[in-house]
Amino acid sequence: MPKVVGTIIGGGFGTLDRRSNRRYFLDISASVAHKRHLYRRGELKTLPLMSSMVEASQAWSLLSPDDQNAWRYVGSTLGLSAYSAYIADKILRIGASIPGNAVPSIHHQGLVGSLVVSPAYGHFLLRQIGNSSFSGYGALYISYKSDLIADPSGGAYIKARFNFKYNVGGVPTMSSQEISLDLSSAWQSTVAYIPFYSDQLDYFELEIEGDHVKGKLLFDNFFMQASEGIITKDSQCKDVQNSFFPIIFPAGITFDSVYPPD
């Protein structure tokens, strides 16, 4: 086999070798080693993921067949295998230093949207805007868990809403369908059906609005789906702070994506 004697390789091949390589030849035998010092930005983001993958994979192998089967049902809601659904969740837990395994749930998976209204009761409106239309009837879905307190003065509400525009005699008209959310609820899923009107315009709004409440709302799987598929963005709520505009957003309200507590 070839033998390298005392050479330090700086990097580069072909004509670039003459520009960047400096060689020092010694009279003793040496080994060749390579250590990367530069990584692309995308590679830097995935390095922690790769280190957690081994630990997550080992944890999967320790699950009972019944537990693995429970993750299969969760994966089916995401278009993933049981293994992929579990691994995605476990890596998030490892990153957040949360021990153990999550209880598989069809209501929420991985990161969820979090809306915290504190300390005063406040009116807020968050809106996602898109430029899609749809054919046939649609459906507005949301899963959520709420721990909200109503203002004693009254008027408390929190709603999920889908709006879209269509033409009536050449006049743009808005149609709205909303879901009133319970102020106090364990994780649950609900749906509202969206009517179809011809001559639609390519415009929709997905909203969360509330007033005279304070506390915390967690939500996931928030989207509008029609025959074309899911037309809204970030249906799994992995990046809600960049998917919604704060139309009415007073001080004391936080809105982001979090890993939900057990």
Task: Give domain status of residue 104, yes or no.
Answer: no
Contact 154, 212 (CB under 8 A): yes
Same domain, 24 and 52: no
Same domain, 201 and 77: no
Summarised one tens digit per residue, pLDDT across range 151-182 is 999 999 999 999 999 999 999 999 999 999 99
Terminal-residue alpha carbon distance, the chain: 58
C-alpha 166/C-alpha 131 separation (Å) is 12
- Region 124-137 average pLDDT: 96
pLDDT surpassing 70 at residue 44: no
Same domain, 118 and 241: yes
C-alpha 70/C-alpha 77 separation (Å) is 12
- Region 78-98 average pLDDT: 92
User: How many structural domains is the chain composed of?
Assistant: 3
Summarised one tens digit per residue, pLDDT across range 119-128 is 899 899 999 9
At 26 the pLDDT is 47
The count of C-alpha atoms lying within 13 angstroms of the C-alpha of 14, restricted to the half-sphere facing its C-beta, is 0
pLDDT surpassing 70 at residue 256: yes
What stretch of H or E contains 158?
A: strand 157-168
Task: Give domain status of residue 18, yes or no.
Answer: yes
pTM of the model: 0.78
Same domain, 28 and 83: no
- Region 186-210 average pLDDT: 97
Same domain, 68 and 90: yes
pLDDT surpassing 60 at residue 112: yes
At 25 the pLDDT is 46
- Largest CA-CA distance found in the chain, in angstroms, rounded: 91
Domain carrying residue 215: 112-258
Task: Give domain status of residue 240, yes or no.
Answer: yes
Task: Give domain status of residue 84, yes or no.
Answer: yes
Task: Give domain status of residue 102, yes or no.
Answer: no
- Region 17-46 average pLDDT: 54
Same domain, 158 and 61: no
Same domain, 79 and 193: no
Task: Give domain status of residue 103, yes or no.
Answer: no
Task: Give domain status of residue 101, yes or no.
Answer: no
Computed over every residue of the chain, the mean pLDDT equals: 87
At 142 the pLDDT is 98
> Which residue's entry shows tokens 């509400």?
157
Same domain, 130 and 240: yes
Nearest alpha-carbon partner for 257 in 94, 160, 110, 112 = 112
Same domain, 166 and 233: yes
Least confident of 29-38, 85-94, 134-143: 29-38
CATH code of the domain covering residue 204: 2.60.120
**Which residues on adjacent β-strands are paired with residue 191?**
141
Task: Give domain status of residue 235, yes or no.
Answer: yes
Same domain, 193 and 142: yes
At 24 the pLDDT is 47
| Residues making up the chain, counted from first to last | 262
